[in-house]
Every structure is written in C-alpha cells, then in structure tokens.
Amino acid sequence: MTETAPALRLDGLTKTYSGKAAADHVSLTVPAGSLTGLVGPNGAGKTTSLAMTVGLLRPDSGTAVVHGVDVWSAPAEAKTMLGVLPDGLALPERLTGGELLTYWALLRGMDAAVVRSRATELMRILELDDAEERGLLVIEYSTGMRKKIGLATALLHAPKVLVLDEPFEAVDPVSARVLRAMLLRFVAAGGSVVISSHVMSLVENLCDRVAVIADGRVVASGPLSEVRGEATLEDAFVRLVGERGVGEEELLWLAT
Ligand SMILES: Nc1ncnc2c1ncn2[C@@H]1O[C@H](COP(=O)(O)OP(=O)(O)OP(=O)(O)O)[C@@H](O)[C@H]1O
C-alpha cells in the first residue's frame, strides 16, 4: 500500500457484452479522503464499472488500483481495504441480520468479540436492532432494511475505501440522514467513498467530487463545482448526457 497513492485509480476499464461496450475505457481517479458521486443514465455503465473496480467482474481490459494495490493481481490485499455494497446484493437469507454479519466477518477472519461489538453497534445505528430482537430473518426484511444490512457488511471490517452502488435507494429519509452522517464521519476519519446515485440533490449535498458516465464512457469528472459550473448538477447532467422529452404527438392514447 502506498500512502501517497489515490484511494482508487481506474485506468481504461472496459467490458463488452455481445459487441457492445457496457464500460468503454473508464478512467477515474478518486483522491484519498474524497467522497465521489458516480452519476449517469440508466444503462450507462455505472454498476459494470463499479463491479470491475472492486473485483466482482473481470474487465476485458484496464486496471483498478486501490491505494496502490491492483485489485485483479493482488485481490486479497486489495479487498481488505475495500468495503463494497454491490448492486442487487445476494445475501444468505435464512439468517438474522446479526447472524449474517457474524458469518460474513468470520469468513474474513475477524475476531469474534470485535465482530459482536461492531455488529451490535452498527445494527443499533441503522435501526435494525428491533428486527434482530424479534429474530427476523433477512428474507423477511424490507428492501430498505436489506440495503442497510448490506451497508453494515460493507463497513464491518473498517475498510479504507467504500464503493457503494446506490446506497440510498429505498432507504427512508431518517435512515438516509444517518447514512449521510456515517459516510461523512468515515471521510473525516481519512476514508474515501464512491457512491452511485440517480438523486442529483443528494450527490450535490454529499459529494465533493462527481463523475458523469454516459454510454459506457466518463464524460466529465472532477470537483463538483467544476463539473456543474454555474448550473445545478441536474442541469449539467442533462447537458452532458442529452435530453429526452415526450413529444406532443406521443402517448396521446394515455388521455383517452
Ligand atoms: N451481464 C450482462 N450481460 C449483457 N449486458 C449487460 C450485462 N450487464 C450489464 N449489461 C449491459 O451493460 C450496460 C450497462 O449496464 P449497467 O448495469 O452497468 O448500467 P447502470 O449505469 O448501472 O444502469 P442503472 O442506472 O439502470 O442501474 C447496459 O446496456 C446493460 O444492459
């Protein structure tokens, strides 16, 4: 690990499905201590890029390096530094949240007492403690609760870099505030975060850097103020990715 290295350096990450590039030479630097928002239209390549970044999807070409460690040539070392919330996280469902966290952490070789105390604290802060007391299984969780337990698994081993695919999706406003505070605390303590999101106001309020991806390519990246300029992030986003309205002659049948 190199202390002066950026938290993440993506260089030319490319993934092609049936001749079409889902990610097309995606390059991005995430400075240590920053909170970066990754935004882009549906199907732009955000999930594909993040999955290649954290070692879940093998790139056709390109590299992903976390604090100087190549994710694909030194995966074990890289993954100790990464906390990941993947898209559509498949969780073992016949466990309570607490059991899931314990199982996850013991697989990572963590000390059982440390796991117990961190899991209890995380579940209390994320308001999953009540469900745990009732013995609720993850299969019985709501969508937002599943997102929260997924986040807890990402945080449990105290990573240096969090890569979170749509962490705020389906999370209620009170929990979203808690999550924001947790991420800001994480960054203040020297961690680095990348989140993907479709909620421009959230990215604008939370992130200090932003990357816009469209059609598999990074079309803008840098400090939030530079990417959005004088406009709002939403306006800058629409300008960068193109606008699509509903024509006067379209969907007329909806009004009949
Ligand atoms: N396993 C796959 N097989 C074939 N095509 C895929 C596969 N995974 C992703 N794609 C395609 O790659 C493109 C990028 O998908 P991706 O999920 O990365 O987009 P996204 O930006 O995360 O979208 P969203 O905002 O809707 O979640 C899409 O056209 C998608 O259909």
Beta bridge partners of 214: 217
**CA 38 / ligand 1 centre spacing (Å):** 15
**CA 215 / ligand 1 centre spacing (Å):** 10
AA letter at 15: K
CA 144 to CA 178: how far, in whole Å?
13
AA letter at 157: H
Nearest CA to ligand 1 atom 12: 22
Question: What's the chain's average pLDDT?
Answer: 92
ipTM confidence score: 0.98
Q: Is the pLDDT of residue 1 over 70?
A: no
**CA 17 / ligand 1 centre spacing (Å):** 9
User: If we measure between CA atoms, which residue out of 92, 75, 70 comes closest to residue 149?
Assistant: 92
Q: What is the mean pLDDT of residues 1-20?
A: 89
Q: What is the token pair recorded at 23? A: 């990610």
Within 6 A (CB) of ligand 1 lie 17, 22, 40, 42-48
134-187 residue pLDDT tens: 999 999 999 889 889 999 999 999 999 999 999 998 888 888 888 898 899 899
| Best residue among 14, 18, 48 to mutate for probing ligand 1, ranked by most atoms within 8 Å of CB | 48
pTM of the model: 0.93
Q: What is the mean pLDDT of residues 10-22?
A: 97
Residue 175, SS3 per DSSP: helix
**CA 59 / ligand 1 centre spacing (Å):** 14
- Write out the DSSP string of 75-100: HHHHHHHEEEE-TT-----SSBHHHH
Which of the four pLDDT bands, split at 50, 70 and 90, describes residue 58? very high
| Best residue among 10, 17, 49 to mutate for probing ligand 1, ranked by most atoms within 8 Å of CB | 17
- Looking at residue 143, what is its pLDDT? 86
Q: Which domains does the chain have, with CATH numbers?
A: 8-91+160-242 (3.40.50.300)
88-139 residue pLDDT tens: 777 888 999 999 999 999 988 999 999 999 999 999 999 999 999 999 999 9
Q: Is the pLDDT of residue 3 over 70?
A: no
CA 185 to CA 199: how far, in whole Å?
21
Q: Where are the beta strands (DSSP E) in the chain?
A: 8-17, 20-30, 35-39, 61-66, 69-70, 82-85, 161-165, 192-196, 209-214, 217-223
